[in-house]
Amino acid sequence: MDFTFTEEQRAAVEAARAVFSGVTPDRVPSPALTPGAVAEDIDRGLWGELAASDLLGLTLSEEYGGAGLDPVALCLVLRESAKVLARVPLLESCAVAMTVERYGERGLAAELLPRAVRGELILTAGANGRTGHDPAELAVTVRPEGTKSGPVRPESEGTSPVRPEGAETGPVRPEGGLKEGAGPSGWVVDGVQSAVPWAQVADLIAVPARTGDGRSVLALVDPARAGVTLADQVSTSGERLAEVRLDGVRIEARELIDAAGAWDRLRALLTTGTCALALGLGERVLAMTAEYTGKREQFGFPVATFQAVAVQAADRYIDLRAMEVTLWQAAWRISTDAGGPLPATGDIAVAKIWASDGVRRIVQTAQHLHGGFGADTDYPLHRFHAWAKQIELSLGPAAAHEEALGDLLATHPLA
pLDDT digits (tens, 9 = 90+) for 201-225: 999 999 999 999 999 999 999 999 9
Selected residue with higher pLDDT from 274 and 396? 274
Give residues with Cβ within 8 angstroms of 358, minimum separation 6.
278, 282, 319, 320, 322, 323
pLDDT for 41: 97
Alpha helix positions (H), 83-150:
90-103, 106-117
Question: CB–CB of 303/369 below 8 Å?
Answer: yes
pLDDT for 161: 32
Give residues with Cβ within 8 angstroms of 364, minimum separation 6.
none
pLDDT for 61: 97
pLDDT > 90 fraction of the chain, expressed in percent and rounded: 77
Task: Assess whether pLDDT exceeds 70 at residue 64.
Answer: yes
Q: What is the residue-averaged pLDDT of the chain? A: 90
* Residue 181 pLDDT class (50, 70, 90 cuts): very low
pLDDT for 375: 85
Give residues with Cβ within 8 angstroms of 117, minimum separation 6.
51, 54, 56, 57, 60, 64, 65, 66, 97
Neighbours of 26 (CB within 10 A): 12
Selected residue with higher pLDDT from 334 and 403? 334
Mean pLDDT of 110-129: 97
Task: Assess whether pLDDT exceeds 80 at residue 85.
Answer: yes
Give CA–CA dist 246/249, Å, rounded: 6
Question: CB–CB of 302/296 below 8 Å?
Answer: yes
Give CA–CA dist 198/277, Å, rounded: 17
Alpha helix positions (H), 199-306:
262-295
Task: Assess whether pLDDT exceeds 70 at residue 240.
Answer: yes
pLDDT > 70 fraction of the chain, expressed in percent and rounded: 91
Mean pLDDT of 267-280: 98
pLDDT tens track for 283-313: 999 999 999 999 887 888 888 889 999 999 9
pLDDT tens track for 16-51: 999 999 999 999 999 999 999 999 999 999 999 999
The torsion angles phi and psi of 190, rounded to 5 degrees, stand at -135, 140
pLDDT for 407: 86
pLDDT for 300: 83
Task: Assess whether pLDDT exceeds 50 at residue 90.
Answer: yes
Question: CB–CB of 103/170 below 8 Å?
Answer: no
Give CA–CA dist 199/241, Å, rounded: 7
Question: CB–CB of 164/156 below 8 Å?
Answer: no
Least confidently predicted of 50-64, 160-174, 343-357:
160-174
pLDDT for 183: 66
- Helix, strand, coil in percent for the chain, rounding step 5: 50, 15, 35
Q: Which one, of 377, 369, 361, 373, lies nearest residue 281 by Cα?
A: 361
Task: Assess whether pLDDT exceeds 60 at residue 158.
Answer: no
The single-letter code of the amino acid at 228 is V
pLDDT for 414: 76
* Residue 95 pLDDT class (50, 70, 90 cuts): very high
Mean pLDDT of 112-141: 94
Question: CB–CB of 141/231 below 8 Å?
Answer: no
Give residues with Cβ within 8 angstroms of 39, minimum separation 6.
28, 29, 87, 239, 240
Report long-range pairs for 129-133 (Cβ below 8 Å, ≥24 apart): 129/192, 129/193, 129/194, 130/191, 130/192, 130/193, 130/194, 131/194, 132/194, 132/195, 132/393, 132/396
pLDDT for 171: 37
pLDDT for 167: 39
Give CA–CA dist 105/174, Å, rounded: 9
Give CA–CA dist 142/104, Å, rounded: 17
pLDDT for 184: 77
* Residue 149 pLDDT class (50, 70, 90 cuts): low
